[in-house]
Amino acid sequence: MISRAQLLELGFTPDAIKHRITIGRLHPKWRGVYAVGRPELTLEGTWSAALLSCGPLSVLSHETAAMLWGLAPPRHGRVKVSVPTSVARRRSGIEVHRRSTLPVRHVTHRNRLRVTTPILTLVDLAPRLDRDQLERAINEADKRDLTNPVSLRAALDHLAGNPGVATLRKVLDRRTFTLTDSELERRFLPIARRAGLPKPLTGEAVNGFNVDFYWPDLGLVVETDGLRYHRTPAQQARDRVRDQAHAAAGLTPVRFTRAQVRFEPADVEATLTAVASRLRAS
């Protein structure tokens, strides 16, 4: 892709540009923007053309940025571009978002294309997706090591005023919510009681590990994790070793997140009821 301004800087005259359009060396995409050599464009070629068309301060954003980062499947459609409010652009096939502020630290490059960072991309997506879609995008960013829920949640304090901040904060607070041990016990014990379980031992050493809740008569161990999304490989490995040690000793390990205990007590209760019923029957 190349722009008319770039061609003029290279020494081409207006007539020379017109001649190359006529003979098929240049193929207009948007006003003043040309594909060189052939008219067919890849997705990234189309995105590059959109940036050239919208000016040097433009940046890929929203769903287009999500596709470039791998947070959404690639598909053709209107290119989403953000520009400062001082830039007046209207192009068929380009959805232009005018922004009063575009933090420099949240603009970067990927594959030589100017694009919002993964964090700002998720903020922009938040009001345009339902909760399940947004959680999938957060998970994908975590999986690709672009950001993680803890870092993302901390960054929101510096992005106040963006429409997606409140939505994203609400989703993240449900999934990165942590409870102290005393709060966890205060919330979990009534759930276990409603599931028909007696009071468990807490903080007990079992098979060489301190466990959160233990019912020796049933052989049931319940562990809780601080985060639903992000567990480092080392943390995941330790969790598996703990669960395997309990299973090898004939116990039944069950793992919940602390966010589940806080926000999804009915699901926790249903699982405990089913597990306890099975253990009693066996």
Q: In this predicted structure, which of 37-51, 60-74, 203-217, 224-238 has the lowest mean pLDDT?
A: 224-238
- Give the pLDDT band (50/70/90) at residue 231: low
Q: In this predicted structure, what is the pLDDT of residue 232?
A: 66
Q: What is the mean pLDDT of the chain?
A: 91
Q: Is the pLDDT of residue 78 over 70?
A: yes
Q: In this predicted structure, what is the pLDDT of residue 227?
A: 63
Is 112 found in the same domain as 32? no
pTM: 0.72
The three-class DSSP label of residue 2 is strand
Number of compact structural domains in the chain: 3
Q: Is the pLDDT of residue 37 over 70?
A: yes
Q: In this predicted structure, what is the pLDDT of residue 16?
A: 97
Q: Is the pLDDT of residue 95 over 70?
A: yes
Q: 10 is in which domain, residue-wise? A: 1-40
For range 72-81, the mean pLDDT: 93
What six digits make up the tokens of 275?
């597990």
Q: Is the pLDDT of residue 230 over 80?
A: no
Is 155 found in the same domain as 33? no
Going through 32-133 in order, the beta strands assigned E by DSSP cover 33-36, 59-60, 79-84, 94-99, 107-110, 113-116
Question: Of 144, 175, 206, which marks where a domain is finished?
Answer: 175
Is 50 found in the same domain as 24? no
Q: In this predicted structure, what is the pLDDT of residue 88?
A: 82
> H/E element holding 221?
strand 220-225
Is 150 found in the same domain as 130? yes
Is 47 found in the same domain as 33? no
Q: What is the pLDDT of residues 241-255, one digit of tens each?
A: 999 999 999 999 999
Q: Is the pLDDT of residue 109 over 70?
A: yes
What six digits make up the tokens of 174?
């449900």
The residue type found at 161 is G
For range 12-18, the mean pLDDT: 96
**In angstroms, rounded to a whole number, what is the distance separating the alpha carbons of residues 146 and 136?**
14
Q: In this predicted structure, what is the pLDDT of residue 277?
A: 96
The backbone torsions φ and ψ at residue 158, rounded to the nearest 5 degrees and listed phi first, read -95, 0
Is 155 found in the same domain as 246? no
Q: In this predicted structure, what is the pLDDT of residue 229?
A: 54
Is 55 found in the same domain as 160? yes
Is 47 found in the same domain as 28? no
Q: What is the pLDDT of residues 195-215, one digit of tens each?
A: 999 999 998 999 999 999 999
Q: What percent of the chain has pLDDT over 70?
A: 96
Name, in order, each residue with C-beta under 8 angstroms of 138's C-beta and a sequence gap of 6 or more: 122, 149, 152, 171, 172, 229
Q: Is the pLDDT of residue 235 over 90?
A: no
The backbone torsions φ and ψ at residue 70, rounded to the nearest 5 degrees and listed phi first, read 85, 15
Q: What is the pLDDT of residues 260-269, one digit of tens each?
A: 888 889 999 9
Residue whose token pair is 């089913």: 274
Residue whose token pair is 């053709």: 76
